[in-house]
Amino acid sequence: MFKHLDEYRDPALARRLLAEIAGVARGRWVIMEICGGHTHAIIRHGIDLLLPEQLELVHGPGCPVCVTPVGLIDKALALARRPGVVFTSFGDMLRVPGSRESLAQIRSRGGDVRPVYSPLEAVNLAAQNPDRQVVFFAVGFETTAPGNALAVQQAARLELTNFSLLVSHVLVPPAISALLAAPDNRIQAFLAPGHVCTVEGLEAYEAIAARYRVPMVPAGFEPVDILAALLLLVRQLEEGRAGVENEYRRSVRPEGNPAARRAVEQVFEVCDRNWRGLGEIPASGLRLRPEFAAFDAENKFELEGIEGREATMCISGAILRGEQKPPQCPAFGRECTPANPLGATMVSNEGACAAYMHRP
């Protein structure tokens, strides 16, 4: 295992790839990474600082926590305040600010908010606490949807009436299409999300590449992965080609993971979804199918009329669209810090602002 990792962190190979990129690149190209894991790897290893100046990397809506709209976070907060509710979530959601506070602040006042490593933990909590309503905040791209689908299926098998999901699942390909269709779009190629493609495969990305004439390369998350993918993208751009080339072959198969996709299709259906920074994108989200409506927290609890309010100084929307970078925000590192965040991009494990704050 360590040999395998060392190969993808080899400084000599990274230098050779950088030299190849510099030798190939002639035009000026704008490339977006659409995964927060890639953003953090790029910033942590200084890849953006080592590339030829004519290549610009911009950060997209690759953090599902970050694109969750404030209104939905406020619904989560309303549930977490309710007596008799155990509100569960992955840990990086706890400090994301809503309109007035965060889940962590509710927890500090005695609210029963619990970070979990898996939605199945929330199912177990519901089974162990039949007198409490257990809600899991189902946030994520296609990568976390299979686990959440299995949790619902398990809750149904156990006939649990006290378990539900607050669903905020979003799908990456429609967001890419929305970015490319924008009149002011300047993105010319994409580092495609490796983990998402591991689940979903390549078909949707091949369709986008063909429609918009943009190269796409699913990449792994080590420095050599990212540089090899960038070299493939630059070659396509310089040669006037636009297709999908798979750098992350050790994980991504063209058909994805059929078992995971099947589980998602059994429990969820496609719906329109509102994204922070991008607005409503048609067919860009997942919701529970009608046969699983009993596990939908928005149906079970009265959450209508809750609308979020963004912090006025926060420019996370522009950052998520790739229009600006975190240091361009006037609040970055001043009014907005990891200890006092104005937006999710500062505290999420995949947020672009958090990546810049922790740059070595």
Q: What is the pLDDT of residues 183-203, one digit of tens each?
A: 999 999 999 999 999 999 999
**Tens of pLDDT, residues 99-118:** 989 999 999 999 999 999 99
Is residue 333 a contact partner of residue 355, using CB atoms and an 8 Å limit? no
Sheet architecture: strand order including 55-59: 55-59, 29-33, 189-193, 216-219
Please check whether residue 9 is in contact with residue 223, taking contact to mean a CB–CB distance below 8 angstroms: yes
pTM of the shown model: 0.94
Residue 240 region by backbone torsions, left for phi larger than 0, else alpha for psi between -120 and 50, else beta: left
pLDDT > 70? residue 3: no
Distance CA 189, CA 182 (A): 15
Residue 1: pLDDT above 60?
A: no
CA gyration radius for the chain? Answer: 21
Contact 237, 27 (CB under 8 A): yes
Domains and CATH numbers, the chain: 65-172+256-300 (3.40.50.11740)
Parallel, antiparallel, or unpaired for β 279-288 and 268-275? antiparallel
The string of pLDDT tens digits covering residues 243-268 is 999 999 999 999 999 999 999 999 99
- Bridge partners of 288? 268
DSSP letters, 201-214, are -SHHHHHHHHHHT-
Q: With contact defined as beta carbons under 8 Å apart, do 272 and 282 qualify?
A: yes
Cα–Cα separations (whole angstroms), residue 196 to 25, 251, 285: 28, 10, 14
Beta-bridge partner residues of 31: 57, 189
